[in-house]
Amino acid sequence: MLERKEVEEAAFEAGIKLGALFHQFIGAPVAERNAEILEKAIRSCVLLQPYVVDAEVRINRDKLKDVSAFGYTSLMPDMLFARVRVRVGKAEVSAVLEWDEELGYPLMRLER
């Protein structure tokens, strides 16, 4: 049986991972030609963190069509989707970071 403490700690850790990912990488230079590399780099960094068992990162390529005259733009919150799976003891949670169009804001949530 799962202990409530482990579930709460796993949920907390998932939120910490997504918050760190968001604040660490928003503003990174990105273009269509390096989006996949940046996705892999972000995923790799998240996977290094304690309790993380899996991570997924996607950058919306449609949002990369509007780049500067120099051929790139900055990674913005509405371009980023991330999912992290965290395990603490026997408790495992999955959490998502994604842009909410209606609110115009990036939200994190636990998945069921």
User: What residues pair up with 55 in beta bridges, in sequence order?
Assistant: 84
For 1-54, what is each residue's pLDDT tens digit? 668 999 999 999 999 999 999 999 999 999 999 999 999 999 999 999 999 999
**Sign (positive or negative) of CA dihedral 23, 28, 30, 34:** negative
For 63-106, what is each residue's pLDDT tens digit? 998 788 899 999 999 999 999 999 999 999 999 999 999 999 99
Rounded to 5 degrees, what angle do the CA atoms 38, 9, 6 make? Answer: 125
CB 85 within 8 A of CB 52: yes
Alpha-carbon dihedral 107, 83, 79, 29, rounded to 10 degrees: 120
Domains and CATH numbers, the chain: 4-111 (3.30.1300.20)
pTM of model > 0.75: yes
